[in-house]
Amino acid sequence: MKTRILGFVALTAVAAMTVIGLFVVPADLNQGDAQRIMYPHVASAWLAYLSFGVTAASGILWLWKRDLRFDAVALAGAEIGVMFTAFAIWGGMMWGRPIWGVFWQWEDPRLTTTALLLALYVGYLLLRHLTDDPERRATRAAIVGVVAAVDIPIVHFSVEWWRGLHQTATIGSPDRVLNPAAPMVFVGTLLGMLGAFTLAWGYLMIRRYQLARADVQREEAARLDRLMSARTAQPAR
Amino acid sequence: MSTLRREAGLALAIARKDALAELRGRHATVSTLFFAAVVLLLFGFALGPDSARLAAAAPGFLWLAVVFAGILAVNRLHLLETDDGALEQLALYPVARRVIYAGKAIGGFAVMLVLGVVVLGAVGVLFSVDIAAAWLPLLVTVVLGAVGIAAVGTFYAGVTVRLRAREVMLPLLMLPVLAPLLLGAVRATVAALAGDPFGELGAWLQLLVAFDMIMVVAGAATYGFLLED
Amino acid sequence: MTDAGYVITAYAVIIGGLGLYTLLLWRRLRASRGRDDEAR
């Protein structure tokens, strides 16, 4: 019931912030309408990082406490994180075309890093699909999730360096949205969108977790069933 | 101190076993090397025949060929173990898990080092790059790259070795993780070949060292969980 | 495409995708729970 209320609030917030971001907030002086893409783009990127952080933390907790509920949280984080990563990349591309003139800007470390992030966690999800035993799956996924999370800062740092040492002109980057000169309306809209998306994230995490638990219980029941029928099939001595 | 020495000895014993098995099955080693050579040839077809352009892209070819062939090599090092249930026996050894990881990783490192040196030589010949002039920084780069690929590869090969779709999953999981290594190694090679005009070689080598250390620690810390499952 | 076109495309995919994922999640959840009840 409480989850349902959260879902309702999240739905309203996202709808309201979409309307505000599209129609209410004035267009940016430099970037024009394209700047409106920044609101959902930045919010998606933030939630992607949050999700993967949750996945890594729950992976460690599983290895430590051996409670499959942590693994369900890790799965929810990875799947929802992949979705938000894809949104962030999509938003970045749609923003890059009108501003930079290209969909994919190799000079921008964020886009490249995010693409690698997507690959890392799609691999994580595929690995889960390919392992049948729940505990084995949880262990493998946990360590892959931890190593992936360790890799994220190295990737970001190296890509930033790669570009930095190359001495290329820095073109307007998404950070501009949050620089001190930005008028308060823009900052407020961005924070509003962040809040709305985070609410939606919380709702989806809870529901995805419930699904993961239901799936595990179903798997377990099916296994018991098979065991029982194998037993009864044996002739009585 | 004595436990440390004993553990190092055990790790080296495991590494030697792997390296010996790899050398005895010469077909596998030779085919991995030829695979790397074919990759280099295909890169040449894809971007040639303008030799100036090929020479400029040679550091990228070098490291892509090493990484691709390295995936095959680390996969096989673990395959040796599963063929006859040897990994289970290895897991039963009364030694710390990190010793087993170190042994497998050192074995992988030896194979990667041979691979890296051979591919480096092939790149020098095929794309007329003067590797002799900068042999020391190039060798350091190859060593650091081999450590990183072996550290990551041993860990991921352990994750995927018992999967059905191992051939796809190992590169899919490994390649994005190796991206910083590829980036640093290529940049260091470019800098070394150009005589380091901007003084950036040290920075890239430091990046490689940091990557190697983080991945070795992460691998040693988590490899034990893999042996348990 | 105009700037506005890119803005609309970006919002449509992100907000629409969020909605689509939620709908599919509900369906998966119902399917999983439904089969669970049958098994009992």
The residue-averaged pLDDT of A33-40 equals 86
Say how far residue B27 (Cα) sits from the centre of its chain.
19
* Nearest partner of B114 among B178, B208, B22, judged by Cα: B22
**Model pLDDT for residues B168-202, shown as the tens digit of each residue:** 889 999 999 999 999 899 999 998 888 877 778 88
Q: How many CB pairs under 8 A join A and C?
A: 81
Q: What is the pLDDT of residue B229?
A: 58
Q: At residue B37, does pLDDT exceed 50?
A: yes
- Interchain proximity A34–C28, CB inside 8 Å: no
The residue-averaged pLDDT of B18-22 equals 74
Q: What is the pLDDT of residue A97?
A: 85
- Interchain proximity A207–C10, CB inside 8 Å: no
Spell out which residues of chain B touch residue A155, defining contact as CB-CB under 8 Å: 176, 179-180
Q: At residue A166, does pLDDT exceed 70?
A: no
Spell out which residues of chain A touch residue B201, defining contact as CB-CB under 8 Å: none
Share of chain A above pLDDT 90, in %: 41
The residue-averaged pLDDT of A178-187 equals 66
Spell out which residues of chain C touch residue A222, defining contact as CB-CB under 8 Å: 39
Contact predicate A174/A95, CB 8 Å? yes
Q: What is the pLDDT of residue A171?
A: 39
Q: At residue B101, does pLDDT exceed 90?
A: no
- Interchain proximity A155–B179, CB inside 8 Å: yes
* A near B: at least 3 beta-carbon pairs less than 8 Å apart: yes
d(CA A169, CA A157): 18
Q: Which of A127, A147, A158 sits opposite B183 (nearest CB)?
A: A158
**Model pLDDT for residues B41-90, shown as the tens digit of each residue:** 999 888 878 888 888 889 999 999 999 999 988 888 777 666 666 666 76
d(CA C18, CA A10): 11
Q: What is the pLDDT of residue B83?
A: 62
**Model pLDDT for residues A74-119, shown as the tens digit of each residue:** 999 999 999 999 999 999 889 888 888 888 877 777 788 889 899 9
- Interchain proximity B203–A116, CB inside 8 Å: no
- Interchain proximity B176–A142, CB inside 8 Å: no
What part of A 123-152 touches B (C-beta under 8 Å)?
123-124, 126-127, 130-131, 135-136, 139-140, 142-144, 146-148, 150-151
**Model pLDDT for residues C2-37, shown as the tens digit of each residue:** 788 899 999 999 999 999 999 999 999 998 877 655
**Model pLDDT for residues A219-234, shown as the tens digit of each residue:** 888 888 888 888 777 6
Spell out which residues of chain B touch residue A136, defining contact as CB-CB under 8 Å: 229
Spell out which residues of chain B touch residue A143, defining contact as CB-CB under 8 Å: 155, 159, 222, 225-226
* Chain C touched by A95 (CB under 8 Å): yes
Spell out which residues of chain A touch residue B207, defining contact as CB-CB under 8 Å: 157-158, 161
* C near A: at least 3 beta-carbon pairs less than 8 Å apart: yes
Q: Write the DSSP symbol of residue A21.
A: I
Which is more confidently placed, C39 or A113? A113
CA distance A216 to chain B (A): 18
* Chain C touched by A175 (CB under 8 Å): no
Find the residue in B nearest to A146 (Cα): B218
CA distance A132 to chain B (A): 10
Residue carrying the six token digits 């509920």: A69
Maximum Cα interatomic distance, chain B, rounded to a whole number of Å? 58
The residue-averaged pLDDT of B111-123 equals 91
Contact predicate B32/B73, CB 8 Å? yes
Share of chain B above pLDDT 90, in %: 31
